[in-house]
Amino acid sequence: MEWQDFAEGEKAVESLLGKQETLTLEFKSDHPNEPMFVNGELSTNGRKILAKELSAFANSAGGLIVYGIDCRKVNGVDEAVDLRPVVHLSKAETSIRNAASELLQPRHSDIEVMSIPSASDANAGFIVVNVPRSERRPHRSEAKGQKEYFKRSGASAFAMEHYDIEDAFKRQSSPLLSLNFDFRWGMKSGQKFGMQLLLGVTNRGEVSGKSVTLQIWNQPELILQPIKRLTSVSQFDGRMTFAAASDFVVHPDQTRIFEQLDFELIRVPEGLMISGRPLLPGRIAFDYSIGALDMRSQQARFVLDETHIRSILKSTER
């Protein structure tokens, strides 16, 4: 089960019944003896439970916490057996969202929280917390009486041993690069427009990004052509690889132009054409991955949309 699957609402939650907890999936439900919520607010116990799981997922492979599912031992394995919607849903979601921003040290800004109302009671439902693997690990629980580092192993969270923590701190911090897109008008000849897709690199990490590389693939047609001004470009097995020069460095909170890709547009009475076809959403699309020294590659997909087309039209009208 992935984070985006919960867009289906309660149906997605119900599909988890009979499923087991895993390295990246944890179920939680409230119990009268040790309540996690009191009138919709996280209790002291609830904050400790949340902080432990946030720390464990952030320090490991990442994962999802689903509140409102009762998990019991079935044949020795933790399994989702029943739905127990969280009451005071809106208040509980806010409490979890606020706690998630303050229960880890250092903070993990990429945690996401969503609530899913129950079809039978709009004031009750389920809460899903998405905890990506963190590039700033290790993260320590800051819950009262629980200043510890946790990791995920199997389907459980465990306190990290001293050597685990020491290892994590010795590991060099990583840059966290993402790719940005913009369009710029180039040369114009009659009704032909040379356009450039600008590829910018932003660093949201705490150390500088060096030896930056980019791969592009699954481009249906070779609409985009590298200019080869800023990077070294090679092609193999359907992939274009761009390698930055040795002096190209992206410092924390900085954005730099990485490369420019050329394409040509022709204006006709019906509008703009690209490679003999109308310029429509999805006409330019490709998968890509971006990486750097000491950084795990980040993979995503670019698809031309209405916003991009408006930007292109604005450029050609100048």
115-121: long-range contacts at Cβ-Cβ below 8 A with a sequence spacing of 24 or more? 115/89, 115/90, 116/6, 116/9, 116/10, 116/12, 116/13, 117/9, 117/10, 117/89, 118/10, 118/85, 118/89, 119/10, 121/85
pLDDT (average), residues 24-41: 93
Contacts of 201 (CB under 8 A, 6+ apart): 177, 178, 179, 180, 209, 212, 250, 255, 256, 258, 290
240 vs 170 pLDDT, higher one:
240
142's tokens: 């800051």
CA proximity to 84, closest of 51, 121, 58, 50: 121
pLDDT at 170: 65
pLDDT at 121: 94
pLDDT at 50: 98
C-alpha angle with apex 19: 18 to 20, nearest 5 degrees?
125
Share of the chain above pLDDT 70, in %: 96
Q: Read off the pLDDT band of 316 (50, 70, 90).
A: low
pLDDT at 9: 95
pLDDT at 64: 97
- 56: helix, strand or coil: helix
Strand partners, 149: 140
pLDDT at 112: 97
Task: Report whether pLDDT(250) > 90.
Answer: yes
pLDDT at 131: 97
4's tokens: 């985006």
pLDDT at 76: 81
Please give the mean pLDDT across all residues of the chain: 90
pLDDT at 301: 93
pLDDT at 128: 98
Task: Report whether pLDDT(241) > 70.
Answer: yes
pLDDT at 172: 53
Task: Report whether pLDDT(18) > 70.
Answer: yes
- Contact indicator for 150, 56 with CB cutoff of 8 Å: yes
- 187: helix, strand or coil: strand
- CA dist 277 and 99 (Å) reads 51
pLDDT (average), residues 261-271: 87
Q: Read off the pLDDT band of 224 (50, 70, 90).
A: confident
Task: Report whether pLDDT(318) > 70.
Answer: no
pLDDT (average), residues 284-313: 88
What residue ranges define each of the domains in the chain, with the CATH number in brackets? 3-170 (3.30.950), 177-316 (2.60.40.10)
pLDDT in tens, 179-218: 999 988 877 788 888 888 999 999 988 789 999 999 999 8
| DSSP classification of residue 149 | B
Q: Read off the pLDDT band of 123 (50, 70, 90).
A: very high
pLDDT in tens, 127-172: 999 999 997 889 999 999 999 999 999 889 999 999 889 888 766 5
Q: How many CB atoms lie within 10 A of CB 237?
A: 5
- CA dist 274 and 194 (Å) reads 11
302's tokens: 């670019």
Task: Report whether pLDDT(306) > 60.
Answer: yes
